[in-house]
Each structure stands twice: as C-alpha cells, then as structure tokens.
Amino acid sequence: MFQSQLKSRAKMKRRQIIPGFGLTFGLSLSYLSLLVLIPLSMIFIYTSQLGWDGFLKQISQPLVLAAYRLSFTTALAASLINLVFGTLTAWVLVRYSFPGRKLIDGLLDLPFALPTSVAGITLATLYATNGWIGRLLPFKVSYTQTGIVIALILIGMPFVVRIVEPVLQNMEKEGEEASAVLGANRWQTLIHIVFPKIRAAAFSGFALAFSWALGEYGSVVFIAGNMPFKTESAPLVIMQKLEAFDYDGATSVALVLLIASFLILFLINFSQWLSKRKFADQ
C-alpha cells in the first residue's frame, strides 16, 4: 500500500520535463492562496459565524431584496441589449468594410481601459435633465433605472463583441457556400449555418457581461443617485452598509452576489465544454 503510493508519487514527480516545476508551482499557488483564496474565504467564514438564521435575516430585508431585484433586472436588460448589438457589431466589423471600421474596432475596448468612475460621472452629466442628451429626451434618465441600464450597457459592451469576433473570423466560408449552393436563401443560411456556430460564444459573452454588470459599482453609483428601493443596486447596498459599519449586512449581501458569480462562471464553463464536445473535430 505504502510502497505503491510511493511509486505513484515518484511517477508524478518524474513526469515534469522542464526542471523547476516545484518552485514555480509552489510560488504560484502560494500567491494565489494569499491574494485570492484566503481573502475570498473570509466572506464564507464571516457569514457562517452569523448562522443560517442571521444570514437569512440580513438578506431578506426589503431594502436588500429590492436591491437584488434591481441589480438582476438592470444587468439582464443591459446584457441582453449588448447581446443583440454586440453580435451585430461583431458581424459588421468582421464581414463588412466601411470608413471608420478600424477606429470603432479599436475603441471597443475603451470600457475596459477607462476608469469606471470617469464613465460614471460622464454619463451622469450627459443624461442629466440639463445635459447634452438628457435635455433632448422627454423622460428622466439620470437617477432612474434607465440610467443604470445605460451605464451597464457601456461597461459591458466589449464582452460579446470580443468573444464572437474571433469565432466569425475563423469560420470557414465553405459552410455558407454549401448552404447557398443547396438552395438556401441568405436568411436561411444565417439561421441554419452561421447562428449555431456563434451561439455558444455569444452566450459566453452575454453571461460574462451579465456577471460583470451584477457587480458593477463605479459607473452605476453616479447615475443611480442611490435612492433606496428605487435605484440602489446590490453593490451600492454593500457599500452603504460598510459605511454604516454594518459588516454583517455587507458580507451577507456580498455572499449572495459571490455565489451568483460562481454560478454564472460554472454555466459559462459548462456551455463551453458542451460546445467543445459537440464540435470536437474543429
């Protein structure tokens, strides 16, 4: 028993060809643990000290429930809009050529590079009732849920485009050609040949944008106006509870958000695994 264990361990150890595995793996794992795993586990440890009832009491406050609902609906709306426009943008950028295409392609990463607080104050003033855009609109945007959705559209814009773009680029035109030769019209070809191939990628992009939008703080805080029950999203509630030194509340709210992120991450990995298995030959 012991001997076989020893042997298999020796086998494990010997399998690395490039010397230095122990050192690099050890350092990477230590850093990962110290910086990410141990701190993240604090959320779980801290909430477990509250007990199940304490936790439920925290997250079932009407204010918190309203915040979850708000975060969920605004994130969903924004990422659905980004799913549609993102797929369209990817298609247009890959397949068509028009003046300014390169510029738009380059600028698409701006939401990743621009500080969220900059995006936040800019949108808040643009859409304020006396702002450049707000002035032209018959309805209020700043300090409403519409404002939150607009901010989330901006910060989630690159996800779908950047994931769908390479899939479209690497797609063989042969499939479309075959479909056309077999008598399908362009719309049928798109539905039957193109969409199935980009579906998994588009879904991943959508899910990432959704997850990102759920946790977004910087761009939302300025345009939302933090009205409890109306425009206070979950991350804003965490912040507000922290400022009131309500660590129990903040951590409980955070745990639910964290679990939501894990679930989405799992869904993305699972769907990628599924599509990889389906198109294994590619």
Burial 158-169 (b: 16+ CB within 10 A, else e): bbbbbbbbebbe
Distance CA 248, CA 8 (A): 47
**1 part of the interface to other proteins, by CB under 8 A:** no
Q: Residue 175 is which amino acid?
A: G
Q: What is the distance, to the nearest Å, from the Cα of residue 201 to the centroid of all Cα atoms in its chain?
A: 13
- Which two three-digit tokens encode residue 57? 């009491």
The region of 19-27, 50-58, 140-148, 223-231 touching other proteins under the rule CB under 8 A is: 19-27
Q: Which is nearer to other proteins, 162 or 199 (CB)?
A: 162
**136 part of the interface to other proteins, by CB under 8 A:** no
Q: Maximum CA pair distance of the chain?
A: 79
**224 part of the interface to other proteins, by CB under 8 A:** no
**160 part of the interface to other proteins, by CB under 8 A:** no
The region of 62-70, 141-149, 175-183, 223-231 touching other proteins under the rule CB under 8 A is: 175-183
Q: Which is nearer to other proteins, 42 or 56 (CB)?
A: 42
Q: Which residues contact 45 (CB under 8 A, 6 or more apart)?
A: none
Q: Residue 259 is which amino acid?
A: I
Q: Which one among 64, 157, 200, 201 touches other proteins, defined by CB under 8 A?
A: 157
Report in angstroms how near the CB of residue 185 gets to other proteins at its nearest.
Answer: 5
**50 part of the interface to other proteins, by CB under 8 A:** no
Distance CA 123, CA 166 (A): 30
**172 part of the interface to other proteins, by CB under 8 A:** no
Residue that has been written with the tokens 């779980």 in this structure: 44
Let me know if 62 is exposed, middle or buried by CB neighbors in 10 A (0-12, 13-18, 19+): exposed
**256 part of the interface to other proteins, by CB under 8 A:** no
Helix axes 62-95, 234-243, angle to 10 degrees: 130
Q: Which one among 222, 224, 249, 252 touches other proteins, defined by CB under 8 A?
A: 222
The region of 26-34, 60-68, 136-144, 195-203 touching other proteins under the rule CB under 8 A is: 26-34
**Residues of this chain, 89-118, that bind other proteins according to CB under 8 A:** 89, 91-93, 95-98, 100, 104, 106-118
Task: Assess contact for 236 and 217: CB atoms under 8 A.
Answer: yes
Cβ-based neighbour number of residue 16 at 10 Å = 12
**Residues of this chain, 54-73, that bind other proteins according to CB under 8 A:** none
Q: Which one among 69, 186, 192, 278 touches other proteins, defined by CB under 8 A?
A: 186
Q: Which one among 149, 200, 214, 224 touches other proteins, defined by CB under 8 A?
A: 214
Q: Which one among 60, 69, 132, 195 touches other proteins, defined by CB under 8 A?
A: 132
Q: Which is nearer to other proteins, 2 or 245 (CB)?
A: 245
**150 part of the interface to other proteins, by CB under 8 A:** yes
What does the per-residue mask of binding to other proteins show for 225-244, with x meaning CB under 8 A? ----------x--xx--x--
**145 part of the interface to other proteins, by CB under 8 A:** no
Name the nearest CA neighbour of 111 among 149, 78, 155, 163: 155
Classify residue 171 by its DSSP letter. Answer: S
